[in-house]
Chain A
Amino acid sequence: MEPTARLVVAGFPLALDRLYQAETHMWVLPTGPGRVRIGMDPVGLETSGSLAELSLDPVGTELHAGRPFGQLEAAKFVGPLLSPVSGAVVETNEEVVADASLAVRDPYGAGWLIGASLGDADAELSGLLADPTEITTWFAARIARYRHEGVIAQ
């Protein structure tokens, strides 16, 4: 995949250089052997409400797919950030903890959340959306659904 491949789909930027967990809107960017960075895509952030605060589990914490690696607070609602993979936290983005709006301003770049090491990278990544066409279709369908439900603006 082209490292800078970006699209705008129905008004939302979409990076095609990474993988996605469909339900949680988390992206996973391989950064080296057995290493990834994890963040949230702009549609996931938009549907969370007005983002106020983030907290992240510290380096060394074990990650379990589908379980929290931190908390996100929007509109006084504190909810879990669910990990798309299992492994361990190897870095946290302290800039986004200090200023959660960074995740909204630059969701695919400076707004990353954690870095992780994966025990079996192939297995961990195999359940994620990886094909650009599949990702684009999923992303467009999600936006259409949320707009239909009135969750995000037309």
Chain B
Amino acid sequence: MAEPLRVIDFGSRPPLRSQTLWHAVGYGVSAGAPATLSFVRPAVPYVCIGFHRPLDEVDPDFCRAEGLPVLRRMVGGGPVYLDSGQLLFQICLPAASVPAVRPKALRQLLEPAVAAFRAVGVRAVLDEDSEICLGDAKICGHGAGQIGDAVVVCGNLIERFDHARATRVLAMTDPAQRDQTLALMRRFVAATPVDPVSFRAAMVAAYAARLGLTARLGELDDVEHAALTSLDEQFVSNNWLAGPGRPGPQAGPGPVARQVKVRARIWTLSATHEGAQVAATVVRGTVLAARLHDPGLNGLAVRAEQALVGIPLRSVGDVLAGFGDPGRRLAAAFATAEPERS
């Protein structure tokens, strides 16, 4: 008889519990509970930020005005907008049972999700960046982490996606960057409105088959109930919400930049340097759109913007060198980009 794959469907839950329930499972599996596949649907919208990310990546005023809670998870990735149009799933296993090499473990634990998407008619693939995609669009956000001695990989079935709100919750002071980010979201993040019951069944079958386990419905054990109580307190504490991340960008005489990743290698940049201002869209290393401002451009802004479209990011400085001192200031702003972080 194969070992069990515990399956728990937490149903529709408030924001806090839609996170703490599956984190509690992590502690349970760490303490000896069986491998577990769980599902939960947020009852109302909220924002969830990855373990290391600075809280200032989220627009606090907008979230407060909209009544959107902000919660920090123990797994990686950036800030995301979650709502009832998304079915969140988590696969949790003892760390000793997955490859120690993290990229390999991540791919192995996402492949059954891809199989489940395909089983319900979505021609999903796991791309070279370990993102689940349909064509050019990411259709499943994911994150992973180790909780105690358990590894958890989480993702979502996006039945409906509010691109505008998902963009609006992100802190961006430059309207041009916000517009560019929304355009990228619409192009590169897609919903797959399949029947969630069929998807859940396909997920259970795919993970059980891949892991060689027998699926069984289950519920939280005593360890997990205790962990849940503790996590409910931890996740609403200011210390936890502040996070352990690196300091945010410091204001000063040098360039000031904000980079927003939409999916792997697809991002926007807003940066200023000595009065020059750049908002740019970068797709797989190439500038797709640019909005430039510098008082010295004297009406050449549009020409400079057009000159950058289709240019590799590494060649932006060469192109802008043809625009004199304003070009050099704009190039300095562009140079704040950190492609390796995207």
Residues of A with Cβ closer than 8 Å to B? 23, 47-50, 52-55, 71, 73-80, 97-101, 146, 149, 151
CB–CB A71/B52 < 8 A = yes
A98-B244 Cα distance, complex, nearest whole Å: 11
Question: B106 near A77 (CB under 8 angstroms)?
Answer: yes
Interface string of B94-108 (1 = CB under 8 A from A): 000000111111100
Residue of A49, A54, A100 near B102 (CB, 8 A) is: A49
Given the known interface contacts A149-B104, A151-B104, the answer about A76 and B246 at a Cβ–Cβ threshold of 8 Å is: no
The closest CB in chain B to the CB of A72 belongs to: B102
If A71-B51, A76-B143 touch, does A149 touch B76 (CB 8 Å cutoff)?
no
Q: Could you give, for residues 51-72 of chain B, a 1 whenever the CB lies within 8 Å of some chain A CB and a 0 otherwise? A: 1110000000000000000000
Q: Which of B118-176 contact A (CB under 8 A)?
A: 129-130, 142-146
Counting CB contacts under 8 A, is B7 at the interface? Answer: no
For the complex, would chain B's binding face be called helix, strand, loop or mixed by DSSP majority?
Answer: loop
A76 touches B77 (CB 8 A): yes
Instruction: Report B240-271 CB contacts with A as 1/0, cut-off 8 Å.
Output: 00001111000000000000000000000000
A149 pairs with B101, CB closer than 8 A: yes
Give, as a whole number of angstroms, the nearest-CB distance from A95 to chain B.
10
Interfacial chain B residues near A100, Cβ < 8 Å = 246
The residue on B at minimum CB distance from A51 is B340
Instruction: Check B146–A79 contact: CB distance below 8 A.
Output: yes
A52 contact set on B, CB distance < 8 A: 52, 76, 341
Closest chain A CB from B26 CB (angstroms)? 11
Nearest first, the 4 closest Cβ-Cβ pairs linking A and B are A53-B52, A55-B244, A78-B145, A76-B76
Q: Known contacts A52-B52, A71-B52, A101-B340; is A76 also within 8 Å of B142 by CB?
A: yes
Which residues does chain A contribute within 8 Å of B51, judged by CB atoms?
53, 55, 71, 73, 78
Residues of A within 8 Å of B129, CB to CB, are 75
